[in-house]
Amino acid sequence: MGIFLWLLLVVVLLVWGTVRWNLHPFLGLLLSAIIIGFLASLPVSDIISAIGSGFGSTLGSIGIVIAAGSIIGEYLDRSGGAKVLANKILDTVGEKNAPLSMSLTGYIVSIPVFCDSGFIVLSALNKAISKRAKIPLAVLAVALASGLYATHVFVPPTPGPLAAAATLGADIGWVLILGLLVSIPVMAAALMWAVIRSKNFTIDFDTSSEKTSTAIQPPSFTFAIAPILTPILLIALKSVAELPSAPFGESFLFDLFVFSGNPIIALLVGVGLSFLMVRGSKDTEQHSWLEEGLKKAGIIILITGAGGAFGSVLRETELSTFASQFTDMGGFGILIPFLIAAFLKTAQGSSTVSIITTAAIAAPLLAPLGLDSAIGKALVVLAIGAGSLTVSHVNDSYFWVVAKFSEMDTSTALRTHTIATAIMGVTGYLTVQVLAWILV
């Protein structure tokens, strides 16, 4: 019990430092690792060793993947590919189904693109559709925001799920497959809220300041979607190839799928395809896109490594012994990581930081909770993702992106977007819980 209380104290201090003093998560997680190590009376040499090994092993598995995913996202953003996807989906489902269109667009775009960036890129399109189709902007804003959020916390190669999978030792392929499954009802629940309740909110907005497109020629739909779907397909095929039933045997095809489905290779293929999206831009301009993508990836990589260091120190403590008292929870053990992530998300605002921190805390709990199988680890990643949705409010940068770019006042954003994220989080947990009862 003592180590649990110390951990609770350290987490509260981490949240307080982040919120009150704007402490960067990278430094906060490293300081937390050191503090919990001393409070747990670990030898100094063990603390240092755990921090170094945890940081290195975590980044060794996903550092390149995060960097590659960030590059794909930057090219999709700058080339106009995100808007191409939105327009194609809108043309397919029709203006009357514009909320579904924007939700699906967000769902696809947010797999490689940060949800904040995706919303900013598509917000002007949201306003244009609202004006043209006479659909309340609040409906479209919540639909787009929730679609973006659904894959942001559940589907690799978004950094949060990737980091959690690395920390917990979960197979990225299973996280991807199950994440796509869980994210569908989550998105659908938020879409229902947007259509049924958000239509009651009126937003006056001005489209006179919207910018026209640049000289860059947007890619075709095929070129825009290829860098997103190809890595997903390759990673999924690798997981299928490695099933106990060995559907591809041990042939050349098996080796090909295992190699190309490795997340590093799959995302590098996506990077290569993203280069094909661009027409009409200068080489120097594309080079700046590449550098910007790597800069964005660098911050996430460092935070992820620090989360791995924190988890490594926790594994050296007696936290797993304390957690063994909860083994009689059976299938309800998935509730613990969900609640931890929800607490951290609500307290400090960042979904990614919530996911990374919770994964570090949950790592020693897997075996005691009976969730250390391949499927169990993947479901814990998704339970953490569901918690990190719950809830987005005034301390979350994404809340303000949705509010300001949709010209909502704070009250309207709280009564539309915030409630939607609460619905998404609970729906996500219930879906993961049902899967845990069936599969674990």
Q: Which helix (H) or strand (E) holds 184?
A: helix 172-196
Which pLDDT tens digit goes with each residue over 217-236?
888 889 988 988 898 888 88
Q: With bands split at pLDDT 50, 70 and 90, how would you rate the model's confidence at 154?
A: very high
Backbone angles phi, psi at 294, to 5 degrees: -70, -35
Angle between helix 81-93 and helix 115-133 axes, rounded to 10 deg: 40
Other beta carbons within 10 angstroms of residue 96's beta carbon come to 10
Instruction: Give the pLDDT band (50/70/90) at residue 211.
Output: very low
Question: What proportions of the chain, in percent to the nearest 5, are helix, strand and coil?
Answer: 80, 0, 20
Q: CA-to-CA distance for 123 and 400, rounded, in angstroms?
A: 13
Give the model's confidence band at 203: pLDDT under 50 very low, under 70 low, under 90 confident, else very high: low
Q: Above 60 in pLDDT, residue 267?
A: yes
DSSP assigned state of 261 = T
Band of residue 165 on the pLDDT scale cut at 50, 70, 90: very high
Mean pLDDT of 152-165: 89
Res. 432 pLDDT band, cuts 50 70 90: very high
User: What is the radius of gyration, based on Cα positions, of the chain?
Assistant: 21
pLDDT band at 212 (very low <50, low <70, confident <90, very high): very low
Reported pTM? 0.76
Give residue-wise pLDDT tens across range 395-405. Answer: 687 888 888 87
pLDDT for residue 204 is more than 80: no
Q: Which residues pair with 217 in a beta bridge?
A: 279
pLDDT digits (tens, 9 = 90+) for 112-140: 777 877 887 787 778 778 877 788 888 99
Exposure class string for 249-286: b at 16+ Cβ within 10 A, else e: eeeeebeebbebbbbebbbbbbbebbeebbeebeeeeb
The answer to whether 357 touches 29, Cβ cutoff 8 Å, is yes
Average pLDDT over every residue of 202-228: 68
Q: What percentage of the chain exceeds 90 in pLDDT?
A: 26
DSSP category for residue 394: T
Domain ranges of the chain: 7-200+218-439
Considering only 51-60, 168-177, 195-204, which range has the smallest mean pLDDT?
Answer: 195-204
Q: Which residues of 105-143 are buried (b: 16+ CB within 10 A; e: fewer)?
A: bbbbbbbbbbbbbbbbbbbebbbebbeebebbbbbbbbb
Peptide bond into 157 cis (omega under 30): yes
> Which of 36-40, 92-96, 132-136, 278-282 is least confident?
278-282
Q: Is 370 helix (H, G, I), strand (E, B) or coil?
A: coil
- Lookup: tokens for 123: 């917000």
Is the pLDDT at 329 greater than 70? The verdict is no
Residue 242 has pLDDT above 50, yes or no: yes
Is the Cβ–Cβ distance between 161 and 153 less than 8 Å? yes
- The overall average pLDDT reported for the chain is 84
pLDDT tens-digit series, residues 359-393: 988 888 888 888 889 999 999 999 999 999 988 88
Residue 407 amino acid letter? E
